[in-house]
Structure 1
Amino acid sequence: MPDKIVLYSPEYYAACTLGGMLACGPTHSLVTPLDLVKCRRQVDPKLYTSNIQGWKTILRTSGDSIWTGVGATFIGYTLQGAGKYGFYEYFKKTYSDLVGPEKASQYRTGVYLAASASAEFLADIMLCPFETIKVKTQTTIPPYATSALDGWKKITAQEGIGGLYKGLVPLWARQIPYTMVKFATFERVVEGIYSYLGRPYKSYSKLEKTGISFLGGYIAGIFCAIVSHPADVMVSKVTSEKSATESIGAAVGRIYNRIGFVGLWNGLPVRIVMIGTLTGCQWLIYDSFKVYVGLPTTGGH
């Protein structure tokens, strides 16, 4: 990379894309044990009485592992991170230019929402095959596949390429609102923190700037978890239960009739902790990388 990256240049978007990959792939992979138990409890609430009991059971079960699905998680969320952050920066600049500087500032929350929704729409197309493999592998005991490649081969052999995308619509329903809240809330929370502290952006150290990014990300993550949780439950259930001949609408309707509105909120406390920490760490990594390559952190200036 050049010594000085010009804002909104191809090098800038490449740096943001790489930063997104670094922020999402490793962080999602690290919480695989928590995600594994969460997914299984969403599909079968009676399977484990608690996360601790779930991990103990998994560790005692031959052929099972608390890291089940980590390969598909790493690949899928690395690709998603590339699209989520890289396209967000691109669309935020594009939409701001489209409406002009005055309206972009006045209606900046709308710009953040539109940019993040557009970015996530594209990012989920890259994520979906690996999310399908991950959920299918995690919600079957013994695990459906031994690796991401094994899962890819098995699903395509049984259902064709379309089988990898059967959860795309529920995934969009989960991830697009999630990302809209994640980015818009982060931008406004960070803006509020800087405004409250009352100092010019340039007066903060690199450590202070990235610390503010982590705090803003954690707060945004709490809102993300709440907004997207019903769709998260439905993604797990549709991916594990939908038959090859059943439409998405029919599967969603059948599952909802069985679990009801209350069932859509199963596992929320665990997800708040997981997503809050995850989102805070992602913004910390992303903005730390931007600082490392000589770019300003996101938001607040």
Structure 2
Amino acid sequence: MEKVVVEGRIEEFSMGYYGLCTVGGILSAGTTHLAITPFDVLKVNMQVNPVKYNGISSGFHTLWKEEGPSALWRGWSGKLFGYGVQGGFKFGFYEFFKKLYSDVLVDHSRSAIFFVSSASAQVFADVALCPFEAVKVRVQTQPNFAKGLADGFPKLYAFEGLSGFYKGLFPLWGRNLPFSMIMFPTFEHSMDLIYHNIIQRRKEDCSRAQQLGVTCLAGCAAGAVGTIISNPADNIVSSLYNKKADNVLQAVKNIGLVNLFTRSLPIRITLVGPVVTLQWFFYDTIKILSGLPTSGGLRRDLKEAT
């Protein structure tokens, strides 16, 4: 896969390129997750206490009535910084691994490259996210635990040590690895489908506005599919962090097989679909403003098309 210079600004697949992708991931993921903090607070409480918080409208009413409007923004720092760091690792490493595997796995399908690239990136992204997530979930569901990251990190370390920050790493991988391994390939193939079958033009022949529109449509499809796949693990993560269960098997038993797939699913679809769409939109906007093409595809695709 050869390097190219786009509009004389930045060389693709250089350290500067991967740095830009990482910054783009930080900004796009951090800001979008911050914006949906109230919904995330409700989602986590619905997972931990489904009897008390049994609906979106009634759940918001209960939180507001019992704890005031500030309760809806509990854990905002964990959302902003935790998911910002995760987004930087996820998007930056995805671009890196996609280039690496495309060069190494030359005889493999594009789907296989997208699949292993997203999995590899997510492994590192969740290791970075896990400490933030451990504090965030406790802040959102245990009002007396801490106010945010500043006092939450030392308090969690004092109570549970370093292991407390990574108690949910495997469930987090269980939630986010399937999500990414579905989301990124779905996004890539949705881009292909829209350009080839609907617009019937190459990406390079479309305006920037049209390219960003395709990015949004593909991001929406990717978010919806990924949410359904990852919902069981998301429920397990919340259960473990709130000591509703001591291990994954106990959490599955307590929640129930049907509830694993259905509990909090409507609000997660409400949350994740728009969040993923906005992330891809902001991420590709940053790319365009830097003189780069929007996301999607492999460099070898351009060679084959010429």
TM over 0.5: yes
* TM-score of the aligned structures, taking structure 1 as reference length: 0.92
**Aligned with 1:133 (options 128, 132, 135):** 135
* TM-score of the aligned structures, taking structure 2 as reference length: 0.91
* Secondary structure at 1:241 match in 2: coil
- For 1:6, the aligned partner's letter is E
- CA distance in 1: counterparts of 2:133 and 2:126, whole angstroms: 9
- CA distance in 1: counterparts of 2:270 and 2:29, whole angstroms: 17
- CA distance in 2: counterparts of 1:198 and 1:235, whole angstroms: 43
**Ranges in structure 1 where 5+ consecutive residues have no aligned partner:** none
Q: Match of 2:166?
A: 165
- Of residues 5-14 and 253-262 in structure 1, the stretch that sits farther from structure 2 once superposed is 253-262
Please list the CA deviations of residues 212-243 of structure 1 after superposition, one character each: whole Å capped at 9, or x if unmatched. 10110001000010000000000000111168
Q: Match of 1:38?
A: 43
Mapped contact 2:244–2:251 kept (Cα < 8 A): no
**Aligned with 1:214 (options 212, 216, 223):** 216
Mapped contact 2:48–2:244 kept (Cα < 8 A): no
- Of residues 18-27 and 2-11 in structure 1, the stretch that sits farther from structure 2 once superposed is 2-11
- CA distance in 2: counterparts of 1:45 and 1:25, whole angstroms: 28
**Aligned with 2:80 (options 65, 74, 88):** 74
How many matched pairs? 289
Q: Match of 1:252?
A: 248
- The within-5 A match list for 1:24-63 is 24-62=29-67
Q: Match of 2:257?
A: 261
Mapped contact 1:72–1:133 kept (Cα < 8 A): yes
Mapped contact 1:68–1:143 kept (Cα < 8 A): no
- For 1:50, the aligned partner's letter is G
Mapped contact 1:155–1:163 kept (Cα < 8 A): yes
Mapped contact 2:187–2:222 kept (Cα < 8 A): yes
- CA distance in 1: counterparts of 2:221 and 2:129, whole angstroms: 25
Q: Match of 2:28?
A: 23
- For 1:270, the aligned partner's letter is I
Mapped contact 2:105–2:113 kept (Cα < 8 A): no
Mapped contact 1:112–1:184 kept (Cα < 8 A): yes
After the TM superposition, list the runs of 4 or more consecutive aligned residues in structure 1 that deviate by more than 4 angstroms.
Answer: none
- For 1:7, the aligned partner's letter is E
Please list the CA deviations of residues 24-79 of structure 1 after superposition, one character each: whole Å capped at 9, or x if unmatched. 00101111111111111111111123222222222223475100111111110010
Q: Match of 2:9?
A: 4
Decide whether aligned partners of structure 1 residues 259 and 7 sit closer, same or farther in structure 2, where only a CA change above 3 A counts: same
Q: Match of 2:115?
A: 113
Report the identity percentage.
40
* Secondary structure at 1:299 match in 2: coil
- 1:135 Cα offset (Å): 0.9
- 1:269 Cα offset (Å): 1.5
- The within-5 A match list for 1:163-242 is 163-196=164-197, 197-241=199-243
